[in-house]
A and B are shown apart, each in its own frame.
Chain A
Amino acid sequence: MEFETVIGLEVHAQLLTDTKIFCNCSTKFGGTPNSHACPVCLGMPGVLPVLNKKVVEYGMKMSLATNCTINKSCSFARKNYFYPDLPKGYQISQYAYPLSEHGYVFLEVDGAQKKIGITRIHMEEDAGKLLHDEHNPVSYVDLNRAGVPLIEIVSEPDMRTPTEAADYLKRLHEILVYLEICDGNMEEGSFRCDANVSIRPKGQEEFGTRAELKNMNSFRNVQRALEYEVKRQQYIVENGGKIVQETRLWDDAQGVTNSMRSKEEAHDYRYFPDPDLVPIIVDDAWIEVMRKELPELPMAKRERFVKDYQIPAYDAGVLTADKALSNYYEEVVRLCASPKAASNWVMGDVLRFLNEERRDIRNCPVTAASLAEMIRLIEDGTISGKMAKDIVEEMYKTGSAPKTIIAEKGMVQITDEGALLKTISAIIDANPNQLQDYRGGKDKLFGFFVGQVMKATQGKANPQIVNELLKKMLAG
C-alpha cells in the first residue's frame, strides 16, 4: 500500500525581550539558579501579572511576517496542571482568543512554491527547568526560565514529507532571526519544535491517528525523528496494527522515538479566561507602526540579491539564510563593487573556514572590509587569484589586513614587463627542444612554458602579462 505522510508543527520561540512576560526579572540565560526570580514568577500568594508590551509587539511582528491576521482583541487564559516547573499550578497562555490567525509561508518543493498554512500564533509564558539527581530519587527546580516570553506558532497539517517539515522549520527560524525577536538557538532551547505526524493510505481524505513527537533539538533531529516515525507507523499499519494517539520522545543516541507513558494520563487543562489580565486591543494604527518596523525579510532579500547583484538564486539562498551573513556580504559588495566575486569568496573560502570550525559569521576574523580590499587588489592586478587563496587563508588565521600579509610575505605580483621578458628569454633559451616542438604545432606546450615562468617567479608573475609576452616570444 502506498502511504501519504501528514505533518503539522508546533514551534515555540523564546522572545528576545530584556524582561519576562509578566514581571521585571531578567530573561538572561544561565546565571545562578533561582536568581532571576521574584514573587510574581515564583508564583507567590497575592502577586499579580502585568504584561510586557514588547511581547505583544514582537508577536505582532512575527504575525505580519507570516501573513497572519492580527485579531482586534485577544486575551490570556490559564492552562491548569500540576508540575514542579510550573510555579502557579497553571501556565498563562492564550486559548480561545489568540494574538493572530490564518497565516502562511511558502516553501520551495520540487521547484514549485508550496503554501504551508499557519493556524495561529499565540503568546505564553515558559516554565522553569528541572534537573534530575542521578543517585537519589529527587529532582531540582530552577525557576530562572519561568515566565520567559514565548510565542507558539502552530501550523496546519500541510507538510507531506520530513524534508518539507525541516524546510518549514528553517523558514520560520530565519524569519524569527531576521526580525531579531528570537536568537534561534535550538540547543539552549530558545527555538523548540513539537511535531504531529500521521500517515494515511494515498487518496484517503481523513487523517490517520497522530503521534506527537517531542525532544528534537536540531533541524537534523526533526527530520530524522520524522523519518523514523513515518517508518514506524507504516510498519505497524502494514502488519495489521493500529496507531495509538500518544506523545513520543525522540532518542537521539538510539535514533528512535519512544512512547512517553508517564504523561499518558488524560489531560484536562481546564482552560478559562485569566481574570488577572485584561484584553489586548490592537488597532490598525498600532499594526501599521509594527509593519513599518519590519526589516527586509529573507524571501524579499533573496529576490533582491538575484536582481540587483546578478547572482544565481542558489547563491542568494545561501547568502540570505543567515541575516548576519547577508549583511556581511552586502558590506563586502558595498566596499568592492564586485557582487559576483564577493559572492564567490564569501560562499567559497570564508564559509568553508567558518564551517570547519563551526564558527559564526559574527565572529569571523576576516572582516568585510578586509575581504573587499583583497578583491580590489585582485582586480587591480596587484595579486593573482592564486595568491589571494593563500592570503585569505592567512587573513582568517591572523585576522590581518591583506596588505599587511602581502608586505610581510613579499607577495606582490610581478607586472614589470622588462623583468618578465628577461625571465622568459632565459627559459626559452634553456628549452630549445620544447620550443621546436611548440613551433611544430604542439600547442599544449604553452602550458609548460607558463609553468616554468611561474616556477621561476615563485608564482608572483602576473599571469595575464606572462601569457601575452610568452605568446609573442614563442611565435618568434
Chain B
Amino acid sequence: MISKQEVEYVAHLARLEIDDAQKDKFTSQLNDILLYIDKLNELDTTGVEPMSHAIAVTNAFREDRIMDSLGTEKSLANAPDGRGEFFRVPKVIE
C-alpha cells in the first residue's frame, strides 16, 4: 500500500505539487490501481527474460555525418524565456 508520505515523495520526484484535498483522493486512487496490479504476483516469472521491445531490432546506427542544426534563433523560438542566445531559468544553486 502506498502511504500519503510516499505520495508526497513520488510527487516531488516527478516535480508535481499535490494539494491536501487532492492528496487523499490521489492516494486512494493510486492504491486501487496498485491493488489491481498486485495480480501479477500470482504468476511465477522466475527465469523469464524481461521484454523491453515489442519487436527484436538490433544495431540501428547512424553514420557520423554532420547535418544542419536548427541554429540559435530557431532553437529558442519556442522558449518561454529565451534571452539573446540562451534559455533563461531561475538561478541554479550549486
- A419: interface (CB < 8 Å): no
| Contact assessment for A260 and B94 in the assembled complex, using a CB-CB cutoff below 8 Å | yes
Task: Say which residue of A18, A39, A42 sits within 8 Å of B64 (CB atoms).
Answer: A18
A84 to B13, CA, bound (A): 15
Q: Is B86 an interface residue (CB 8 A)?
A: yes
CB distance from A461 to the nearest CB of B (A): 61
Residues of A within 8 A of B65 (CB): 18-19, 24
Q: Contacts A26-B69, A34-B76, A38-B70 given: A141-B64 contact, CB under 8 Å?
A: no
In the complex, B36 has a CB within 8 A of chain A? no
Q: Quick check: is B1 within 8 A (CB to CB) of the other chain?
A: no
Provide the residues of chain A in CB contact with B63, threshold 8 Å. Answer: 52-53
Given contacts A36-B69, A137-B91, A140-B87, are A280 and B75 in contact (CB under 8 A)? no
Partner of A35, one of B13, B66, B75, B91: B75
| B 11-27 binary contact with A (CB < 8 Å = 1; else 0) | 00101000000000000
Q: Are A19 and B87 in contact (CB under 8 A)?
A: no
Query: Does A237 belong to the interface (CB within 8 Å)?
Result: no
CA distance A277 to B59 in the complex (A): 9
Q: What's the nearest-Cβ distance from chain A to residue B2, in Å? A: 15
B48: CB under 8 A from chain A? no
Chain B binder among A61-69, A128-136, A346-354: A128-136
Contact B85 A53 (CB under 8 A): no
Asked if A56 is an interface residue, CB under 8 A from chain B, the answer is yes
User: Does B60 sit at the interface, judged by CB under 8 A?
Assistant: yes
Interface residues of B in 69-84 (CB under 8 A from A): 69-72, 75-76, 83
Q: Indicate if the CB atoms of B61 and A50 lie closer than 8 Å.
A: yes
Please judge, given known A-B contacts A19-B66, A32-B72, A35-B75, whether A139 and B61 are in contact too, CB under 8 Å: no
- A52, B61: Cα distance in complex, Å: 6
A177 contacts chain B at the CB level, 8 A cutoff = no
What B residues does A35 contact at CB under 8 A? 69, 71-72, 75, 85
Given contacts A139-B89, A139-B91, contact A278 B62 (CB under 8 A): no
CB of A406 within 8 Å of the partner chain: no
Nearest B residue (CB) for A25: B69
B50 to chain A, nearest CB (A): 8
A18 in contact with B66 (CB, 8 Å):
yes
Q: Are B91 and A42 in contact (CB under 8 A)?
A: no
How far is the CB of B10 from the nearest CB of chain A, in Å? 9
User: Is residue A268 contacting chain B, with contact meaning CB distance below 8 A?
Assistant: yes
Task: Give which listed residue, B61, B66, B69, B86, contacts A131 with CB less than 8 A.
Answer: B86
Closest-by-CB residue of A relative to B76 is A34
In the complex, how many residues of chain A place their beta carbon closer than 8 angstroms to a beta carbon of chain B? 51
**How far apart are A87's CB and chain B's nearest CB, in angstroms?**
9
A98 within 8 A of B: no
CB distance from B73 to the nearest CB of A (A): 9
Task: Determine whether the beta carbon of B64 is less than 8 Å from that of A270.
Answer: no
Contacts of A260 in B (CB 8 A): 94
The interface residues of chain B lying within 8 Å CB-to-CB of A17 are 64
Contact A84 B57 (CB under 8 A): no
Q: Which residues of B contact A278 (CB under 8 A)?
A: 53, 57-60
Nearest Cβ distance between residue B23 and chain A, in whole angstroms?
A: 20
Q: Is B88's beta carbon under 8 Å from chain A? A: yes
**CB-defined contacts of A249 to chain B, threshold 8 Å:** 94
Asked if A262 lies at the interface with its beta carbon under 8 angstroms from chain B, I say: yes
Q: Counting CB contacts under 8 A, is B52 at the interface?
A: yes
At the interface, yes or no: A364 with Cβ under 8 Å from chain B? no
User: Which residue of A130, A268, A273 is within 8 Å of B92 (Cβ)?
Assistant: A130
A140-B69 contact, Cβ under 8 Å, with A51-B60, A275-B52, A280-B59: no
What would 8 more interface pairs be, CB under 8 Å, given A35-B71, A53-B62? A17-B64, A34-B75, A39-B70, A52-B64, A82-B15, A140-B86, A142-B85, A275-B53
26 example contacts (A-B, Cβ-Cβ < 8 A) are as follows A18-B64, A19-B65, A24-B67, A25-B69, A26-B69, A33-B72, A33-B86, A34-B72, A34-B75, A34-B87, A35-B69, A35-B71, A35-B72, A37-B72, A53-B62, A54-B64, A82-B15, A84-B87, A136-B91, A140-B89, A143-B87, A262-B93, A277-B60, A278-B57, A278-B60, A280-B59
A-B CB proximity, top 3 nearest = A140-B86, A24-B67, A53-B61
